[in-house]
Structure 1
């Protein structure tokens, strides 16, 4: 069976750095499991690897879409599975690296993402009208009422996922979290990185400051100027929080603080999702200075098993 290693965990914990080292050691290639790194020209706010890092190891599913394009979980699942299959034939180790929980779950669990039977275009249009009118709070309350399980497990700040979860529940009467798994098609070893909360939060804050120094404001202004054309990307953490600054209704420091706060909340939700939804082998990067060596040994055992 195809062997795949996935590196998961909260934002800013060091997934990308570990992925690069493991890819170089095990003749691997990296498949991004991030829902924002697919977009061209959005580099800083999405925390893409540097151009040098992208050249050091082959990367897949990075810079594959214009920000105006719609990209779904099903798109990711299909593309990632094909890449993994091809890499396996070339005797290379596929390394899926990213923190978008539902993306990883769709791949690892081979989720049946449905079709016409759980779609209602007219309902979706109504929900999108609510969202476009600034009613994400209303969508959140709606989902919490009809599907509290999904409310706890999906990214409720992502209006597209809110709308999809409501649509599935209202159309089928079943939670989007209860989608059937398909047959097992690959053997996954899930490496989870975590850290003490205050240390992780400190790294998140530092990362945001570095992003601001490296051009985040200009990148966010580009998204702001095209926000009607970029329906998914315009709602990303790191961009939307700067809109009040561009509107002249908030100062820059306040907006950067909001990015830090939302990133910390997102990191907490990421950890909760991976811990509760997937079979992850967790490594606390502060508890063991040799965690990378241990991970490498466990990957060898996984590959030989």
Structure 2
């Protein structure tokens, strides 16, 4: 049985820092579980590790696509599974680090995500038109009526997740939430980091301020200038909120407030998703000063004494 360790939790809680520390300790490698870090040249808004950190520990599924490339959960699942298998074969248990819940779910539950054969081009275009016209509520209502199970399980504020769930149900008659191959191909240990909400929200606010200092506006302007072709990247938190500023419709101050607000809402949704959908060992980084030592002890138990 292959083994995988995953570090999950809300944005800005410290997943990347912990992943780096543990990957070094166990002489292993990191697989990014973030849906936006795959894109080249989008570094600040996606909160990638620094170039030095990327060199210190080998990272997979970072900077593998140009921003105009469409990247699906199925693409992630196929590549991540191969990396996990290859690393296990040479005695390394990889660390999957990231906050995209459905990405991790596709690995843990071995979801059968189908291929092009289950995708109707006209249907996808119809659904995409609704998303492009900010008719998210229409998509949400459609999914709730057709597939209430998926409506409860996926991130319904993410138009791509909505489109995919509706598409799967209408083309296969099955809920995407039930598409499980049934075979446990790997054993996962899920480490969840959390914090008291006020402290987490303050850290999110500080992260946004730091991103601005690092050049977020230039990066967001790059996305804005290519928004017609950057179909997925243009919807990322940290970019889309700045579009009104570039269009001269709102102040920079208001747009940054919107980034912070949306980031806080996203963090809340992430925690809810991981808490409700997955078997996670949670560690409150403020309440428990020895949380890292406890995590390492539990990793040792999971590995059975194996240290890479």
| Structure 2 counterparts to residues 6-85 of structure 1, below 5 A | 6-85=6-85
**Secondary structure, aligned partner of 1:189:** strand
- For residues 57-90 of structure 1, the C-alpha deviation after alignment (integer angstroms, 9 at most, x for no partner) is 1111000000000111011011011111111122
Partner of residue 134, structure 1: 134
* Separation in structure 1 between the aligned mates of residue 131 and residue 209 of structure 2, nearest angstrom: 30
Q: What stretches of structure 1 move > 4 A for 4+ residues in a row?
A: none
* Separation in structure 2 between the aligned mates of residue 67 and residue 256 of structure 1, nearest angstrom: 23
* Separation in structure 2 between the aligned mates of residue 66 and residue 116 of structure 1, nearest angstrom: 21
8 Å contact kept, 1:223–1:239: yes
Partner of residue 263, structure 1: 263
**Secondary structure, aligned partner of 2:62:** coil
* Separation in structure 2 between the aligned mates of residue 258 and residue 160 of structure 1, nearest angstrom: 21
8 Å contact kept, 1:7–1:192: yes
Unaligned runs of 5+ in 1: none
- For residues 177-199 of structure 1, the C-alpha deviation after alignment (integer angstroms, 9 at most, x for no partner) is 12123411111111011111111
* Separation in structure 1 between the aligned mates of residue 200 and residue 144 of structure 2, nearest angstrom: 29
Partner of residue 285, structure 2: 285
Superposition RMSD in Å: 1.5
Partner of residue 229, structure 2: 229
TM-score, scaled relative to structure 2: 0.95
* Separation in structure 1 between the aligned mates of residue 148 and residue 185 of structure 2, nearest angstrom: 31
Unaligned runs of 5+ in 2: none
Partner of residue 183, structure 2: 183
TM-score, scaled relative to structure 1: 0.96
* Separation in structure 2 between the aligned mates of residue 103 and residue 280 of structure 1, nearest angstrom: 15
Partner of residue 95, structure 1: 95
Partner of residue 196, structure 2: 196
8 Å contact kept, 1:112–1:182: no
- For residues 248-286 of structure 1, the C-alpha deviation after alignment (integer angstroms, 9 at most, x for no partner) is 110011101111111111111111111111111111111
* Separation in structure 2 between the aligned mates of residue 174 and residue 187 of structure 1, nearest angstrom: 26
Partner of residue 107, structure 1: 107
Partner of residue 249, structure 1: 249
| Structure 2 counterparts to residues 149-188 of structure 1, below 5 A | 149-188=149-188
